Amino acid sequence: MKRRVLFLSASVGVGHTAAAQAVLCALADADPAIESRKVDSYKYAASIFSKVVADGYIGMVKTVPQLYRYIYDRAERARDIPAFRRWVNQYTASNLRALVAEEKPDLVVCTHAFPCGVMAEYKRQFDPTLPVVAIVTDFAVHPFWIYPNVDVYAVATPEIRQTLVSRGIPAERVVVSGIPVDRRFGAPSLPVPALRASLGLPVDRRIVLMMGGGLGIGPLDRMIRALGTLDVPIAGVIIVGKNLRLEKRVLAIAEHTEYPLRVLSFVDNVYDYMHASDVLLSKPGGLTSSEALSARLPMVLVKPLPGQEERNTRYLVSRHAALRARSEGQIAQVVREVLTSDARRGQLCRNIERLRRPDAARTVAERIVGLMQREAVPEREPALI
C-alpha cells in the first residue's frame, strides 16, 4: 500500500529545502512505496508575515545584525510562546487543512522551526494522531523548535538531544542523526586528480573553495582579497549562489586577482567542488558545514550571521573541527596554516572524522519508515475544512 510523506520547509536560504531533499531521496531508497512531496510552508502563512520574515531576516542580518542578535537571544531565553507567534501558528495551521486533506499524508516532516510550530498547533487543533518529525538543521537548537507533541526529533549532536530532554521532550523521541545532506558528499565520485580535471581545476595548486551560502551573503570580496597575500600556490573557486548583484561584483574583482579564480553561480554539484578542494572558506550555515564535514573538507569560518550561525561556529570550533578567522588578515593566516601545517590539518581531519555523519539522511529515513510502520492504521479521515 502506498504511504505518503509531506515535507514542510521554509523559503529562507536553501539549506532547509536541501535537507528535505536529502531525506526524500533516502526515503525513496528505503521504501519505494512511499510517495513524498516538498512544500514551502510560508505559502500558507499570512502574506505579510511571510514577506516580513523572508525579506526582513536577510535585510536585518545584513544591515543591523546587532538587532537580530538581540531578538534571537531574547527569544532563546523565553519559556512561553509569544501571543503573535501563537496566532501565526494557528492561522497557518488552519490554512494547511486543505493541503493535508488533499495530500492525505501518513506523516509530516518539518525541516524548519516555523512549520514545526505550525504542525504542533495543527495536531493540537485538528489531528493529534498525525505523526510529525522535526529535523533540526543547525548544531544548536532554538526554543522555536520545541513542542511536546512532535513525535520525533532528528538532531545533529548529543548536546542538542540533552537540551531537548531538559526541556521536557522524552529521550526516546530524539535521534542523534546528524544533519541530512546529499549522500554524494560522503565520498568522491573520482580520484581527486581526475575529479579536478573533470571540473577544469589545476592539479598543481591548492584549491580554496569559497562560499557565501545559497543566498550569497557572505563576505566573499574580503575572502578574495585576503587570499591574494598568500605565499602558497593556490587557485580559487567561488560559489556566489543566487545573488546576481554579488556575482557581478565578484566577477569584476576576479579580473585582478593574483591567482586563478573561478566564479560560479548556483550549482547543483557542490559535492564535487568540495571533494576537489583543500580548504573551505565560508559562513557556517548548518547544511554547508555538515556537507563539508561529510566531504572531510577542513573549514575556515568567516563572519557568521547572528544567532544560529554564531552557535554553529562556537560548536565546530570548540570541537576543533573548524577554525575561525575574525578579520581579513586572519583569513590568510589561518588558510595558510591549514594548507602548510601537517599537524594542524591532521588535527582538523581527525576531529572532522568524529563529527561527520554522511549517512544522516538514511538514518532519518529509517526512523521515519519505522514510525510509519508503528503508526500504521486504517486510512484517517481528513480534518473537516
> Which ranges in the chain belong to alpha helices (H)?
15-30, 47-63, 65-77, 83-103, 113-125, 158-166, 192-199, 220-227, 244-254, 270-276, 286-294, 308-318, 328-340, 342-355, 360-374
Query: Model pTM?
Result: 0.89
CA distance 169 to 150: 9
Task: Read off the amino acid at residue 315.
Answer: Y
pLDDT averaged over the chain? 88
Residue 247 pLDDT: 83
Gyration radius from the chain CA atoms: 21
pLDDT-derived band at 11, boundaries 50, 70, 90: confident
What domains can be seen in the chain, in order of their start residue? Answer: 3-181+359-374 (3.40.50.2000), 186-355 (3.40.50.2000)
Residue 379 pLDDT: 47
3-state secondary structure 67-91: HHHHHHHHHHHCCCCCHHHHHHHHH
Give the CA count within 13 Å in the CB-facing half-sphere of 243. 24
Residue 63 pLDDT: 53
pLDDT at 112 over 90: yes
Residue 82 pLDDT: 63
Percent of the chain with pLDDT over 70: 85
pLDDT-derived band at 104, boundaries 50, 70, 90: very high
Residue 286 pLDDT: 94
CA distance 182 to 271: 8
Per this entry, what is the length of the chain? 385
Q: What is the pLDDT of residues 169-199, one digit of tens each?
A: 999 999 999 999 999 999 999 999 999 999 9
For the segment 87-110, the average pLDDT, to the nearest whole number, is 91
Q: What is the pLDDT of residues 342-353, one digit of tens each?
A: 999 999 999 999
For the segment 98-106, the average pLDDT, to the nearest whole number, is 94
The answer to which of 54-58, 220-224, 248-252, 323-327 has the lowest mean pLDDT is 54-58
pLDDT-derived band at 359, boundaries 50, 70, 90: very high
For the segment 218-227, the average pLDDT, to the nearest whole number, is 86
> Higher-confidence residue: 293 or 242?
293
CA distance 366 to 369: 5
249: DSSP letter? H
17: DSSP letter? H
- Select from 351, 345, 286 the least CA-distant residue to 320: 351
Q: What is the pLDDT of residues 36-64, one digit of tens each?
A: 999 998 888 755 454 445 544 555 555 55
Torsion-angle region of 210 (φ positive above 0: left; ψ -120 to 50: alpha; else: beta): beta
CA distance 96 to 177: 28
- Select from 334, 329, 333 the least CA-distant residue to 317: 334
Residue 233, number of CB atoms within 10 A of its CB: 12
Q: Is the dihedral of CA 25, 27, 31, 37 positive or negative?
A: negative
